Amino acid sequence: DTGVSQDPRHKITKRGQNVTFRCDPISEHNRLYWYRQTLGQGPEFLTYFQNEAQLEKSRLLSDRFSAERPKGSFSTLEIQRTEQGDSAMYLCASSLFIRDYTFGSGTRLTVV
Amino acid sequence: AQTVTQSQPEMSVQEAETVTLSCTYDTSENNYYLFWYKQPPSRQMILVIRQEAYKQQNATENRFSVNFQKAAKSFSLKISDSQLGDTAMYFCAFMKPDNYGQNFVFGPGTRLSVLP
């Protein structure tokens, strides 16, 4: 297992377009997290899955954002009608226990 | 809600010297975890060290150690014998484990530069 994989690494999109990011967690991890990191700040929690169930969503996750984890494997994060304020790094992480919490390298989104 | 504060936006240290990064947090919880993460330009968040709040003994990992003061809600990171590869953003983070989730609350980070 090569860790948590995120695709794409970079995404440039025009304002108003929809974008989708993918996260492949470590295979035996049942928990999956999405965070957003803006320039010069620490990551902020967006949402959390345990297996396929989305159990927690931050108030940062507006109705333009949707996340899925079908079959409890990979996850997608979609942003509809992107705005310039959505420009950030989107980090995915997975865990089974606290001690094996692992982050991916993120998808950097630029909205122009 | 929990908050994490890092009062040093940037720091620098000479190679082989020792540096201490500060972190304070606010919580009403008694059971929690504290972490230091390193984020180099490669963007990967790398765990440096973890401390369980119920443990009085300060955690150590090779050149990295913490000074955990629970009453003062302080959690500083000491890096000994600094190396060029230690250059990175360092984030202090809080976690309250429960049955629901284990999401982090991160501080704003300290940019550390190790100078040759």
pLDDT digits (tens, 9 = 90+) for B36-49: 999 998 788 999 99
In this predicted structure, what is the pLDDT of residue A19? 98
Do residue A56 and residue B43 have CB atoms under 8 angstroms apart? no
In this predicted structure, what is the pLDDT of residue B99? 55
* pLDDT higher than threshold 70 for residue B55: yes
In this predicted structure, what is the pLDDT of residue B58? 95
In this predicted structure, what is the pLDDT of residue B103? 84
B19 DSSP β-pair partners:
B79
In this predicted structure, what is the pLDDT of residue A61? 86
Contacts of A45 in chain B (CB under 8 A): 103-105
Contacts of A93 in chain B (CB under 8 A): 45
Contacts of A56 in chain B (CB under 8 A): 100-101, 103
> How is residue B59 annotated by DSSP?
P
pLDDT (tens digit per residue) in A32-74: 999 999 998 999 999 999 999 998 888 888 899 999 999 889 9
Do residue B106 and residue A98 have CB atoms under 8 angstroms apart? no
The secondary structure element, H or E, covering residue A22 is strand A19-24
Please tell me which residue, B2 or A4, carries the higher pLDDT value: A4
* Residue A54, C-beta contacts closer than 8 angstroms, at least 6 positions apart: A47, A48, A67, A68, A69
* pLDDT higher than threshold 80 for residue A2: no
Burial A68-96 (b: 16+ CB within 10 A, else e): ebeeeebbebebeebeeebbbbbbbbbbe
pLDDT (tens digit per residue) in A89-111: 999 999 998 888 999 999 999 99
pLDDT-based confidence at residue A27 (cuts at 50, 70, 90): very high
Do residue A42 and residue B103 have CB atoms under 8 angstroms apart? no
pLDDT (tens digit per residue) in B90-116: 999 999 877 556 789 999 999 999 999
Do residue A33 and residue B108 have CB atoms under 8 angstroms apart? no
In this predicted structure, what is the pLDDT of residue A56? 86
Q: Which of B71, B65, B30 is nearest to B51 (CA)?
A: B65
Task: Give ∠ CA A104-A40-B42 in degrees, rounded to 5.
Answer: 35
* pLDDT higher than threshold 70 for residue A1: no
In this predicted structure, what is the pLDDT of residue A40? 87
pLDDT-based confidence at residue A10 (cuts at 50, 70, 90): very high
pLDDT-based confidence at residue B70 (cuts at 50, 70, 90): very high
| Residue range B16-29: mean pLDDT, rounded | 96
